[in-house]
Structure formats: C-alpha cells, structure tokens
Amino acid sequence: MIRVVLPAHLRSLARAGGEVTVDVDGPATQRSVLDALEASYPMLRGTIRDHVTQKRRPFVRFFACERDLSHELPDAPLPDAVATGAEPYLVVGAMAGG
C-alpha cells in the first residue's frame, strides 16, 4: 500500500478527504504509482501529467522522504519507505502566483 498526498484542489476534484492509498503491481515507481492513482481516480487524468506524453505538468512537483523526485526517471524505484507505506508520496503544486 502506497500513501499519496494530493494538493487541496486535486483532493477536492477526487472527492478524497485526506491521504489516498493505492496498490501497485510490481516495483513501486513514480509511473506505477501515478498509473494506479489515475486508475482509481480517473478525474485526475491530465491534471498531474500530460495525457499523451505522460510528462509531469510544469507546475506540479513530486516529493518523498524530504527529496524532490520531480526530475527522477519515471521508472526509477521509489524509496523503500514510500514502497512500504512508511512515508507518503507527495504531489505538490509549485509555488506560483495568482
């Protein structure tokens, strides 16, 4: 079980109260977590990464274990603490005005 923390606007969109959890088949990677997240919450498709290219949207960042994983390869393994559910995987809206 992997814990995912979404930014407030995406929690509202997903109608999720707080942290959400997903299960992944095989290794826990950013791609497998986001695939599982979008399978459970299809309304999130296109809001975190592009529908077609699967690239992270520019103003979205991925953090875990006090590290910025935004520029890691999508198929790189996530830290063990995330894969075991000890630490959450954070989807964060970048600091920007407006």
Chain residues binding another protein by CB under 8 A are 7, 9-10, 13, 43, 45-48, 51-52, 57, 59-60, 93-94, 96, 98
Beta carbon nearer to another protein, 41 or 89:
41
Beta carbon nearer to another protein, 9 or 67:
9
From residue 56, give the alpha-carbon distance in Å to each of 36, 53, 59, 74, 77: 16, 9, 8, 10, 17
Find the shortest distance in angstroms from Cβ 89 to another protein. 17
Distance CA 55, CA 66 (A): 22
Find the shortest distance in angstroms from Cβ 84 to another protein. 29
Find the shortest distance in angstroms from Cβ 51 to another protein. 5
Neighbouring-strand partners of residue 90: 5, 63
Query: One-letter amino acid identity for 33?
Result: V
